[in-house]
Structure 1
């Protein structure tokens, strides 16, 4: 390795760079720039640079220099670099054919280069990414390059441009999820448009310049066909009121399933507004009331807008989608306003009702936490208790007490299914923007100082996070870092000095079922009753579930349960997501596999009863949480991409994101407390705490039935458990938050402690 020093004021070409050769400087353009991470070098910035001759070389910026250089470099910039290192380019995968690469270090000097006569407005508004190479430093590429696709871009070889050979790649276009919006559509176009020299070229189709990449994709016929969603809305409108059709339309928007939402709106607005006039006549008591078409559309769009806002979305995301007349006129903080919408008098009555039923032990927990809130002393509390000790009751009592004083409480949980049990509950990831793959460096998304979410966190008095042991310690550290940054205080208190309550449970007892000839049949009859096939009890599946460690056993039990019910619907599914073949019947219990609509309680783990099967939608009735019967819920097919796959490409499919739920995996049951549970163990559990989770789902020994079988199907009376000694409850509490300023422990006669 050698350091290139500036002894002479000479501009060198990239082809002249060699280790141990002193040169002055190089003038290059950044044609590729990306971030990289590996265990050896940590976070780095990687670049591909090209000079006036078209020769390319790889350059790296070490982790210690990222903060210094990050905001100064962009793709497309022409830069002058001095005092850098040149060393051998080693490794199996290389981004350029150049034998050497460049390294930046502490004294490396660089500056962005512009033409002297270039207007200042042009410099300030300089575009990044796909720039024409005919500006600034006079970089010119042969005209031949303009006939290639992005993936066919030529490489430099012996100072002549030739089409690259298959088998060598200078890089690849990064995968972008459809939720990436503009970047996603840009990526689609880069694989379709030949030889673009500017962003405008990419958005031009048949001589027409389109305002957005999405419009250009639609003009090229690259967008998904939305006819199915149009038919789904029509089906929902025909079988129920337009109110549910509007919720279905909003659900499609939330899931980002619609390609051009305004096209679907124009095709279905008559179905979506069918009941508006009737509802207004009823509300006003004026049967002769009339509204114009524009007024009717405005009311429907307002409902859709409000439903999106309750799910953390906005119509602003879709520029071509029509907006209600008052759209954009609101200047307040909707997040704070939503949390202050509770009626103080109602909350006071609810608190009085709950306090009349509270036990002495619960009162002790309640008073300690409430005192910390009212005195603004802050603190981090850990509320422990096994299933049935009424931890949710304590959360409700605290929430009603604080809300009756006009203060804000944020009820969260680690999963959507657990959040349904809390009033106004949301997942912690959704509420605070905690990354799914949080690490020791991550921060909460969309919680910059001054943002609506940041102002909400500053105004909150109590944060509750139920089922905290299900979350990584990095999630809590991420929230702590972000809150400390937002709530700047002279005292270094955890979570910015706010009162935070984590909840979890840890204990339970076994009960074993005597053997039967058919293990699955025996378990089904023990849990659902001997006549479940002909039962008309609408709440049969609400309070019962069979738990088993793996999806293989879940599928066997679900197949058996379905075979006992009378019609089915076949639907092809994505491998690695829901099952390839989904068999459904009316009255079968199903479970959501994604957070579809938090405002309507359609979360990952929500269970429903199928009430109707239509060509494009499933109608169901929620049986999880407090919503037992009544209003139907419509589930359309949605786009889904498996998070991980062994294939070198991504799969995206449109499907119903549900599965049968007569049985479920033990992990899926976390956060639920059915009245009766059957635990089927044809093999031992395979992870720490899994057996505990299964055994703690019920409130008493008599409500739990266990069937253990061996390889030959013979019943047994014992099974192996998996316990990691280093994951004891004390250490787990420490790992939940190692820097907690307060950790209180009281006696727990009834199974609850704080």
Structure 2
């Protein structure tokens, strides 16, 4: 998901640094330093708002001048689905599931009812197997929670239980709705933390900005990977960091933690993913600013940099490994690789359940799969 400009900036910097003493390294990629990159072209590409498919593809490492100098090593076995001492039937089931996931990622899955959307070859309609579907649900969020978090009231403070489960969806609005429902099931008193919002004092901000954009308006704004104005928490709730805070103690983008104590100005939590599992950390309020040009100003928000993560967006789930994943497609996927990422996070087939909501509110069995196949040409 990293924009190719990041790699190219690192390349130029290393060439400049190393060539100070050895000029010949000015012409060698990354100044002669060996870099190991890991990725999968079937997964989500760099996220760039309000751009075309061509611009998204052009931002990937596959379109960089560096790609011709990269040696490609291919991994052909799905270690996540590998099971020791598997019986013949278990092995066949895992192999069939692995092949189905690959077909989703490559955009080659063929169903008798498959068709394209609006004659666009990159938008396929995929029929999901019956055993992976939640077919009937009056309360769809409750059905997903019961499937993904069985016996939740008995295990709500079990770190291993929470680490291995999550509900995935396409947008932050749906994710927040699911998290609010889960929070209501958790015993204990709920504490609300309010942010302090202001307009960043940058040179491009007009002098009347504070009059034009009152605090109440700033409080109502939300952005991707940005904490909400009102953060609702209880002791025992799992949270996720939306950005890097302190990599030396494992506080990185995507790290999940369980809240163990709630103070006025600091939150105590225990890390449950990554390389520092079990370590107790303290998270303070910090100043965060929005990125991009969505508004004619830069929003500065002082808030705890965490989000409740019983549910998370499909984009944010990339890189997670789950034993139980519920996928809620109230809105269909909207970019390359999202469906592939959603179905490939689980360790086994029975751990995946998908609920597809049709426009009339009924549960369906078909959904959109988007694959930009020109990405695969560079492999």
TM-score range, shorter chain: 0.5 to 0.7
CA contact (8 A) 1:591 1:658 kept: yes
Match of 1:504 among 39, 47, 53: 39
Q: How many residues align?
A: 260
Query: Which residue in the other structure is 2:202 paired with?
Result: none
Query: Which residue in the other structure is 1:563 paired with?
Result: 184
Establish whether residue 708 from structure 1 lines up as the match of residue 329 from structure 2. no
Query: Which residue in the other structure is 1:590 paired with?
Result: 239
Query: Which residue in the other structure is 1:487 paired with?
Result: 18
Displacement of 1:645 in angstroms is 5.7
Query: Which residue in the other structure is 2:167 paired with?
Result: 546
Displacement of 1:647 in angstroms is 4.5
Query: Which residue in the other structure is 2:152 paired with?
Result: 532
CA contact (8 A) 1:572 1:582 kept: yes
Give the Cα–Cα distance (whole angstroms) in 2 for the partners of residues 539 and 725 of structure 1. 38
Establish whether residue 471 from structure 1 lines up as the match of residue 6 from structure 2. no
Give the Cα–Cα distance (whole angstroms) in 1 for the partners of residues 287 and 17 of structure 2. 36
SS in 2 for 1:514: coil
1:546/1:652 Cα in 2 relative to 1: closer, same or farther (>3 Å)?
A: same
Give the Cα–Cα distance (whole angstroms) in 2 for the partners of residues 675 and 692 of structure 1. 16
Query: Which residue in the other structure is 2:316 paired with?
Result: 668
1:703/1:626 Cα in 2 relative to 1: closer, same or farther (>3 Å)?
A: farther
Consecutive unaligned residues of structure 1, counting only runs of 5 or more, are 1-469, 734-754
SS in 1 for 2:270: strand
Give the Cα–Cα distance (whole angstroms) in 1 for the partners of residues 275 and 295 of structure 2. 42
1:475/1:646 Cα in 2 relative to 1: closer, same or farther (>3 Å)?
A: closer
Query: Which residue in the other structure is 1:375 paired with?
Result: none
TM-score, length of structure 2 as denominator length? 0.63
Give the Cα–Cα distance (whole angstroms) in 2 for the partners of residues 652 and 514 of structure 1. 41
Consecutive unaligned residues of structure 2, counting only runs of 5 or more, are 44-97, 102-127, 196-218
CA contact (8 A) 2:268 2:283 kept: yes
SS in 1 for 2:340: helix
Match of 1:599 among 235, 248, 262: 248
Query: Which residue in the other structure is 1:616 paired with?
Result: 265
CA contact (8 A) 2:238 2:309 kept: yes
SS in 1 for 2:167: strand
1:525/1:479 Cα in 2 relative to 1: closer, same or farther (>3 Å)?
A: same
1:499/1:628 Cα in 2 relative to 1: closer, same or farther (>3 Å)?
A: closer
Give the Cα–Cα distance (whole angstroms) in 2 for the partners of residues 603 and 533 of structure 1. 29
Query: Which residue in the other structure is 2:325 paired with?
Result: 677
1:481/1:626 Cα in 2 relative to 1: closer, same or farther (>3 Å)?
A: closer
SS in 1 for 2:168: strand
CA contact (8 A) 2:134 2:353 kept: no
SS in 2 for 1:504: coil
Greater RCO (Cα-Cα under 8 Å, separation 6 or more) = 2
CA contact (8 A) 1:606 1:622 kept: yes
Deviation track 1:46-80 (CA, whole Å, cap 9, x = no partner) reads xxxxxxxxxxxxxxxxxxxxxxxxxxxxxxxxxxx
Establish whether residue 656 from structure 1 lines up as the match of residue 304 from structure 2. yes
1:513/1:602 Cα in 2 relative to 1: closer, same or farther (>3 Å)?
A: same
Displacement of 1:680 in angstroms is 0.9
RMSD over aligned CA atoms reads 2.2
